[in-house]
Amino acid sequence: MARRKNQRKGPKKTFGTRDDSNSQKNWTELVKENEKWETYYKELGVIPAAEWDEFKKTCQSQLPLTFRITGSRKHSKEVLQLFEEQHLPNLTNVTWEGEEVKPPVALPWYPERLGWQLDVSKSVIRKNDQFARMQRFLVVENAVGNISRQEAVSMIPPIVLDVKPHHFVLDMCAAPGSKTAQLIESLHSESAEPSGFVIANDADYKRSHMLVHQLKRLNSANLMVVNHDAQFFPRIKVNSAEDHKGPQFLKFDRILCDVPCSGDGTMRKNINVWKDWNTGSGLGLHIVQLNILERGLNLLKEGGKLVYSTCSLNPIENEAVIAAALRRWGDKVRLVNCDDQLPGLVRSKGITQWKVYDKQFQVREKGSENCLDSWFPPSTEEVESFHLDNCMRVYQHQQNTGGFFITVFEKVDTAASEAPAPASDAIAAVEEAQGPELKKAKIDTSSTASHIQKKEKLPRDANEEPFVFVNPDHPALAKCWKFYGIDDKFDKSACLVRNATGEPTRTIYHVATALKQLIVNNEDRLKIVYSGVKLFVSQRSDIDCAWRIQSESLPIMKLHMNSDRIVSGNMEILKKLLTEAFPRYEDLVAGDVDPEFIAQTQKLSAGCTFIRVDRNDPAKEDLFLPVWNGSKCINLMVCKEDVHELLYRVFGIETTSKQNPKAEHMAKKSQEAAEASVETPKEEEDSSETAIDATATQ
């Protein structure tokens, strides 16, 4: 959900933690009451009178912790099995301070039991040994991207959008990125190399960079993060300017419009909503929301689907926006009935009648001065044709969640020209009615094709790094192709660098083929923040290949490598490499640890090598990991978070957050060497630096 204002930064939080610093102990808890909010929703009747007390009580209570096991990786089933077999039994029938503690439950509507809810107080999580152990498991798996903490209702829009691996997907208001992550996972659900892509956009520059931090861990070459006002998202050229056919523009298969909203569906976690809520927020955001929806429908291809969602219950931000779009698009779009989707999800239908309160909390009638017609309910004829009952409303008390509104559009015909924007005189009326609040975020509502064309030509900032593609025959790349045995099925022309010289110096990135064309053809209109995964990173220059394959690109590269630098190893050598830093070959030979693996790696020249471990279990994913091969020692090049995760998932070895098994072993070796006055071999020093670099770039 894109927010209107930047939120105050606070301490980093993990699963079930809270900052109990002394500065907070004297805070007075905010009173969770708002008379206008209560009057407004009671008058609207969106919550049945018999359910109001339960609804309000739920809104005032703590929101349960919810998480999902990411579905794009093959080992998601393995992580789920680990949770259900090693943790869930110990969290059932637990009592704490004389009361029974609720065990975690699978969200009944989330596919394949990959979504979970935990309704337990934070004191229990901190102090009960079994819940603390579960928390550690969640933290470790979250760090490597196998688990994502996300509010339950926030998971719904990406699911009903129904993204497939070949789809071109746009997330118009993407920050902070939890829904975007779901879209990427769906894209990669069948292959590490889908033909589609996800473009994640956010209007706020800082939040667009926060998106990068959230999404980098998914290691997708099919992702692009851009920074544009969603109301005027630029048309993207799919062909070059020299094409004799003239410019052709991209249309998306799937679009998510999770628009800025007043956020009263989040009042269980954002308690400031209780004191700040007013009718003016929804009225002021209505036009922005409608403009974003309009732009999304313009960019959607025939047969494509668009999801419009908010974390607000206010019909001015929801059904009124939907009705306004349907009014102007006519039979070119329709609302999709999702009753047969997400079985187990308790939901309510969209509404067709509501009162309109102005900023002074006075009821207004359609046609009143300084009021937009689109604020008001549809006519009787429109009710029958719009089918607003196909909208989904999820209320807090229905299954102990936040509140959310979701609508799925399907575009029937894109032959018509782009729909007109709201009339400028109507906007002026809104500004006069709403005063300074709306004027602070004043918007230009002219959305004709010519206006969009003017807005989409954006010169690159002098401080921004360019995206420069490297000739696949460049000597640096040619060396890599040969050294690692990269086949011709890999798109070698889709490698780029992020510097003005265009020369490979430190890092070479790789993007999906489809994104390469968009980057090349839209330098003057797309403000690209991020795209591509790190493919090659420079290492020592005194070895056969000065570049190593980066871990984040291994899911792709392992499909295209045919090289003797890939060596099969057993579970024993893997455990050794996970727990010991730079074990010497002489010690491994003496210990008879996987002699065949050791013999093969010793024959190879120094540099980046790979270990493939067959786990001999069709239900579990085989492992493919990078190794530094030196003349006297060997080292597994994975970050400490991956070490913790692999030790537990593969070997059942639990660690604490303060432990770093390889670092502890390295410190012990250094101490022993110092006591014996033994100098550390040079390759250990060099490969240690390589390992640190690998850790830092995960």
The catalytic residues are 311
Q: Is 173 annotated in some ligand binding site?
A: yes
Quickly list DSSP for 25-65.
HTPPPPP---HHHHHHHHHHT-S-GGGHHHHHHHHTSPPPE
* Strand, helix or coil for residue 594: coil
Per DSSP, 633 falls in state B
Task: Count CB atoms within 10 A of the CB of residue 685.
Answer: 12
Q: Is 514 annotated in some ligand binding site?
A: no
Return the half-sphere exposure (C-beta side, CA atoms, 13 A cut-off) of residue 619: 7
Return the half-sphere exposure (C-beta side, CA atoms, 13 A cut-off) of residue 5: 11
Q: Is 174 annotated in some ligand binding site?
A: yes
CB under 8 Å to 162, separation ≥6 — which residues? 254, 305
Measure the CA–CA gap between 139 and 117, rounded to whole angstroms. 15
Q: Is 179 annotated in some ligand binding site?
A: yes
Measure the CA–CA gap between 367 and 346, rounded to whole angstroms. 37
Backbone angles phi, psi at 53, to 5 degrees: -60, -45
Backbone angles phi, psi at 18, to 5 degrees: -145, 145
Of 190, 171, 222, the closest CA to residue 72 belongs to 190
Which amino acid type is present at position 102? K
Q: Is 489 annotated in some ligand binding site?
A: no
Measure the CA–CA gap between 26 and 43, rounded to whole angstroms. 37
Q: Is 202 annotated in some ligand binding site?
A: yes
For the chain, what is the radius of gyration of the CA atoms?
28
* Strand, helix or coil for residue 141: helix
Alpha-carbon separation of residue 611 from 132, 177, 469, 648, 691 (angstroms) = 34, 33, 30, 19, 15
Tokens coding 91: 């969290």
Instruction: Report CA dihedral (154, 157, 158, 161) to the nearest 10 degrees.
Output: 180
CB 633 within 8 A of CB 692: no
Backbone angles phi, psi at 113, to 5 degrees: 60, 30
CB 151 within 8 A of CB 268: no
Binding residues: 173-179, 202, 229, 258
Residues annotated within the binding site for S-adenosyl-L-methionine are 173-179, 202, 229, 258
